[in-house]
Structure 1
């Protein structure tokens, strides 16, 4: 049960006949009924005799609140606060211009929290929908998952071969000026849903290589340079150095995607290579 403790009641007299009528005011303090400590951030509503809300306030750090009634009459206070029982005070009769100072005491009501259950399988599946902070649906063929890599291991010499087999639009695999095998995005074909892929053919050793000629990047496209490449978050310089048997996933990021993750060093795109166990 709530309790009201009226501290004082004062009637304000009109100064003159033309002065507006003074409002009826209740100034109060909301307290814990056991400890009498102030309760902050509680909702206090002034309710008239018909049950209609006429004013409202939120208690401050000292538990103080002020509500006003436009007309004299019978009013009640309703208090709500998480962790306490929502309660309504006994009625108060407010005379014209009356100011009432009071304490409003309410009881604690423990909040019962439902148990939290974490489904480990669901969490893993949820995490699997994002790679490098990007929704996998936006990556399309530029995300190379384990199910696309494993069937190619027997006929691939290195990570470069894995990439060549993917036929990713706009991706060219070849050597840079220092003889390192790297990946490049060709100008005019850098689009998430772009068309055109460099052809590949089997070589005498059973691997694959780029077909030179019409599909080789132009000189201006060569000037674009190689993508930045990361193996389990460590930068590396040649795809020939990656043990193909350890590769779990590969991701090709466009410059627009990589910029926010890798900064200015990603202006030519980024290739991410993950080995087994580093990305679930």
Structure 2
């Protein structure tokens, strides 16, 4: 799909920009990664083009085996990035500015686009929720509750009881409403990692948005409030932003991008992520058009 305008989030293309102070250098640099939106892995051999705000091509480079790329920038101003690869739709980032001696870090996504070769259809296999879970265990980052562990710890009242068994994590209980006004036990979970010890939540691959109306916390928001102990298959706990796998980090940042302070706090390692896998998500092959 040529000319697709990027959006922050999980669509065909997402953009996460972080600006960091660096020592003076001779020119500005854009460093980034192109990520497959289905597999969450870097895309090798893609063409990445730097465009000016007037649609003029500045330079073009190719991604390496990890999907990484680097583009020097001689002039200051506003730019776009556009990525293309066989088997994928053309994607374009949102506009961003480059200032003096900036190193701009860009991560954006590209979605597969089947190629019909009459009659062959070329595509990339989709990934099961259980496969994503096993992949993240291999990173040795965070605390993991496998299906066997969840069965042995089976909570009786609330799924938050599982988190009482995570190291460096504190759970306190309160009584509060959900979005429908129904009252029930609501956990208050914090970690001993990060300055604030705050946590964000994902159900399968859907970030849970924190309600902005009075009296309803995140545990009262759907889909988190709708889950019962019998729904949970496995749990991942990342107690600070530095433990969070890159794909989940980008989801949460995109979900809270309207709050600049939230983004800054997460980059400083203050907020972690808890991922609840349900029976539906555990055996689901994730791909385009699902859990967005």
Which band: TM-score by shorter chain? Answer: 0.3 to 0.5
Structure showing greater Rg: 1
TM-score normalized by structure 2? 0.35
TM-score (norm 1): 0.37
* Structure with more contact order per residue of length (Cα contacts < 8 Å, sep ≥ 6): 2
